[in-house]
Structure 1
Amino acid sequence: MTKEFAGRSALVTGGGSGIGRASALALAAEGALVTVAGRTAETLQETVRLIEAHGGSARYVVADITNESQVEMAVRAAADGIGRLDLALNNAGYDGEYQLTTEYSTEMLDHMIALNVRGVFLSMKYELRHMVAQGAGAIVNMSSGAGLVGVPGFSGYTATKAAEIAMTKSSALEAAPHGIRINAVCPGLVDTPMIAALGGRQRKSLADAHPLGRIARADEIADAVVWLCSDKASFVTGIALPVDGGYSVP
């Protein structure tokens, strides 16, 4: 069976866990040579091990996406695999903690802006340089359903995720004449070890906030990433795709 991304290379930031790891596995399963980037070598190595155990090809690079020179290095490393960069998922980010606006930590907000805004901006800056030169490519930015609606206690997070959507739309318009598509995925709550550790009542309350009545699996978000990167979405660019069980429906 032909694999969708055979002969293509992909970069996944924040690829050491959660949605990033699930997406790296899904892209590799479709034949891509995947480079996972992040700050923790051990988790990145585990992602590479899992991909290779399933017959895929992967590498890792330790990089902090708030550091411009490290972002440039990570993108170059991903492109060096086959001499081009075809796909990118900018997934690394920070969601912070519940705090009312009047009590919101300035340090937490600054860290959130550094990762969610500056980090995504820098990633696209260097990914696009490679893709424009080759005249093709697809980028997915991992935003959030919180970027589409208001969420009490997370004003900083919603602001940065809305900023990611705005950057996606603007950059998509710039990139379209070069044959490059840029889209965002906006998940609802996703089942993670942190969510799994919550008490049954609290977990049920979070699930009930989604009209479909449950929390997403990371692989369900990864499926959306794969579709947006694929030729099946060849006429899709500049969108913010909710994958949130109806959470953001007005």
Structure 2
Amino acid sequence: MHTLPLLPLDVATLAPLDGKKLLITGGARGLGEGFVRAAAARGAQVTIADIAAQAGEALAAQLHGDGFAVSFVRVDLSDPASVEAAAQAAGERMGGIDGLVNNGAITNSGGKIASELSIETWDAVMNVNVRGTWLMTMAALPFLRASGQGRVVNIASDTALWGAPRLLAYTASKGAVMSMTRSLARELGSYGITVNAVAPGLVEVEATAYVPAERHRHYLEGRALPRAQVPDDVIGPVLFLLSDASRFVTGQVLPVNGGFVMP
């Protein structure tokens, strides 16, 4: 099978975010780290919100040392009080919030069939991925409303578009995020806030290292663009949805998976 070469991403070609104040959950590692680095490089002020305090603080310190306006706040998306405190701290620190990326999520149910799932696992995934996304959006809402041009980008997953097996809790949670995106877009549109979702395919990051090689091969062979997916592939669409270029785009779910799913 012929595979495409992986070309480097030129951050300079991405949508400008000069002066934007962004809160990015799950921003300490993986996809989130890519969003943070690219957004800062394109002129945004960024607050990283993550439960991984050591990694988040290290990333923020590194980027701050490089001259970028990046800081860190710890958040536990399963804890409503923690979510509220993190959004408040970010908004006060940056002097507002123009954009929110709801990227923080857990999997936990990978490899198990539906009958093997425990109620505890199901609840843990839903509390972080679904309830956490809702709570963080509501906690940031006063700042987003004050912005007059707020942007919310939810990170979903194409597993909810094709029905990935042995991943039920995660797949269901990301389907809920897609539905939430559409409903919130209608509720918040009158405030000038857009709400969209990006649904990546299987991205090669630390968090997907547990995924069996067979699943990686399934994705590779099923893509219209036959190569592995990396964080850089998702960064451009997310920055576009955070930028002024997407000001009349809302309620949309954008699959970013190399053509593995074409809904």
% identical aligned pairs: 34
Task: Give the aligned length.
Answer: 249
- 1:218 partner letter: P
The residue aligned with 1:248 is 261
Once superposed, what is the RMSD of the aligned Cα atoms? 2.1
Structure 1: 5+ residue runs without aligned partners? none
- 1:17 partner letter: R
Q: Tell me, yes or no, if structure 1 residue 213 matches structure 2 residue 226.
A: yes
The residue aligned with 2:63 is 51
Instruction: Spell out, residue by residue over 1:190-229, the C-alpha distance to the aligned partner (whole angstroms, 9 max, x if none).
Output: 0113556878776444422333222211122121110000
The residue aligned with 2:74 is 62
- Residue 56 of structure 1 and its aligned partner are, at CA, apart by 1.5
The residue aligned with 2:113 is 100
The residue aligned with 1:145 is 158
Is contact 2:21–2:96 with CA below 8 Å preserved after alignment? Answer: yes
* 1:80-99 equivalence runs, <5 A: 80-96=92-108, 97-99=110-112
Structure-2 separation of matches of 1:112 and 1:198: 17
* 1:41-190 equivalence runs, <5 A: 41-52=53-64, 54-96=66-108, 97-190=110-203
- Residue 9 of structure 1 and its aligned partner are, at CA, apart by 1.0
Structure-2 separation of matches of 1:117 and 1:174: 17
- 1:45 partner letter: E
Residues 84 and 206 (structure 1), Cα distance of their counterparts in 2 relative to 1, 3 Å cut: same
Structure-2 separation of matches of 1:242 and 1:85: 26
Task: Report SS of the residue matched to 2:262.
Answer: coil
Residues 93 and 218 (structure 1), Cα distance of their counterparts in 2 relative to 1, 3 Å cut: same
The range that moved more, 149-158 or 237-246, is 149-158
- 2:249 partner letter: V
Is contact 1:171–1:182 with CA below 8 Å preserved after alignment? Answer: yes
Structure-2 separation of matches of 1:24 and 1:113: 25
- Residue 7 of structure 1 and its aligned partner are, at CA, apart by 2.1
The residue aligned with 1:38 is 50
- 1:119 partner letter: G
Is contact 1:9–1:81 with CA below 8 Å preserved after alignment? Answer: no
The range that moved more, 5-14 or 161-170, is 5-14
Return the TM-score normalized by structure 1: 0.92
Return the TM-score normalized by structure 2: 0.87
